[in-house]
Amino acid sequence: MSTLNIAVLAGDGIGPEITEQAVAVLERLSEQGQFALNLEHAAVGGAGYRAKGHPLPEGTLALAKASQAILFGSVGDFSLDHLSRELRPEQAILGLRKALGLFANLRPAVVFPELGHASTLKPEIVSGMDILIVRELTGDIYFGQPRGIRRLENGDREGFDTMVYNETEIRRIGRVAFEAAAKRSRRLCSVDKANVLETTQLWRDVMTELAADYPNIELSHMYVDNAAMQLLKNPKQFDVMVTGNMFGDILSDEASMLTGSIGMLASASLDSNNKGLYEPIHGSAPDIAGQDKANPLATILSAAMMLRYSFGLEASAQAIEQAVSKVLAQGYATADIQRPGAQLVGTKAMGQAVVAALG
């Protein structure tokens, strides 16, 4: 039986509560004999800053590098917003993505049958929606140099960032997206702003060149402003979407809300060897932290993605996904997905319900 070496970086706010439940789910599968677990915990984000003076302490980074996969909760702590940017909690996740080369971010946005009502859109627009957003994660304006705030000769301050992609970066995320599309309905929509930005003209050119290697995939292109609109108008037209770091950040939050709750959405951030960091796409939700109110399902579903992508344990991944479907069908709901007739439960009880559904 294989031993899974996993770093657990719970982080801030609701991070510790939700990762605890994902760990309980992994432990249940381990008890069932599906794999052995070696879990190591370390502080990250605001918690890292408080414990070691840095959002991504050296020991945490070393652990992340040594592990096969990382289960990540969330980072963010308003009380540390006064710190200089490199010490703020968000730098932990950006630093991990960059240091580990986690360039491929998979963000599925799926509407569970029980939650169609929870969307702000009409149920008939969203029911059955199943989109995979493939977001490039280590380039673009997030990391481009130079950047800064400078003083002009006339005394004005000027802020600037650099949007930049080279073709190697575009091609490797393109391949991930084409291959993901090959396993789904074979439709890929590449999102750019090629009518205005040179960087994304190159993006479009490279995606078009790549399409020659994937004759069975239907590639389309869409400008990001139109994509934002089409996601609200007719989200089911999309299957796999591929886009850069910043557009992907924005579109994935938009797509998540179509599903009813951002508390349901998992993500995987992968390097070229399928080593990965797995995290819910929501943030640290300080307003409900420590109150047993947060929805742990996004983190539990992230653990399923981990078993699938980093460990090749497809059956175990599906067991978790089916258990989540079952607890929704049984009518359990945390506050964010509360609905008429559902039974309101807290973080722990929701996690326990998934554990129970695993049998």
* Residue 47 binds which of Mg ion, ligand IPM, none (CB < 5-8 A, kind-dependent): none
SS3 assignment, position 108? strand
Nearer to Mg ion among residue 90 and residue 192 (C-beta) = 90
The first and second tokens of residue 57, run together, are 């302490």
* Residue 93 binds which of Mg ion, ligand IPM, none (CB < 5-8 A, kind-dependent): ligand IPM
Residue corresponding to tokens 């569970």 = 112
Residue of 142, 165, 278, 309 marked catalytic: 142
* Shortest distance (Å) from residue 97 CB to Mg ion: 12
Question: Is there a catalytic annotation at residue 225?
Answer: yes
CB-based contact 334:263 (threshold 8 Å): yes
CB-based contact 213:182 (threshold 8 Å): no
CB-based contact 57:51 (threshold 8 Å): yes
Interface residues toward Mg ion, by CB under 5 A:
249
Closest CA to 178 of 139, 204, 215, 227: 215
- Considering only residues 92-111, where is the footprint of ligand IPM by CB under 6 A? 93-94
Size of site (CB under 6 A) for ligand IPM:
4
Pairing status of strand 276-280 against strand 266-270: antiparallel
- Considering only residues 75-94, where is the footprint of ligand IPM by CB under 6 A? 90, 93-94
Site for ligand IPM contains 9 (CB under 6 A) = no
Question: Is there a catalytic annotation at residue 214?
Answer: no
CB-based contact 89:49 (threshold 8 Å): yes
SS3 assignment, position 210? helix
* Shortest distance (Å) from residue 76 CB to ligand IPM: 6
Residue of 12, 77, 249, 336 marked catalytic: 249
Question: Is there a catalytic annotation at residue 205?
Answer: no
In whole angstroms, give the CA distance from residue 353 to residue 334. Answer: 12
- Considering only residues 226-285, where is the footprint of ligand IPM by CB under 6 A? 249
> Which residues make Cβ contacts (< 8 Å) with residue 186, sequence separation at least 6?
216, 217, 218, 239
Nearer to ligand IPM among residue 73 and residue 116 (C-beta) = 73
In whole angstroms, give the CA distance from residue 303 to residue 249. Answer: 21
Question: Is there a catalytic annotation at residue 223?
Answer: no
Question: Is there a catalytic annotation at residue 253?
Answer: yes
* Residue 246 binds which of ligand IPM, Mg ion, none (CB < 5-8 A, kind-dependent): none
Nearer to ligand IPM among residue 105 and residue 347 (C-beta) = 105
Residue of 253, 271, 326, 348 marked catalytic: 253
The first and second tokens of residue 122, run together, are 């009409």
* Residue 90 binds which of Mg ion, ligand IPM, none (CB < 5-8 A, kind-dependent): ligand IPM
Alpha helices in 239-313 (DSSP H): 245-258, 297-309
Residue nearest to ligand IPM (CB): 90
Residue of 65, 81, 213, 225 marked catalytic: 225
SS3 assignment, position 75? coil
Closest CA to 228 of 176, 193, 259: 193
Residue nearest to Mg ion (CB): 249
Nearer to Mg ion among residue 136 and residue 249 (C-beta) = 249
Q: In the complex, which residues of this chain contact ligand IPM (CB under 6 A)? A: 90, 93-94, 249
Catalytic residues: 142, 193, 225, 249, 253
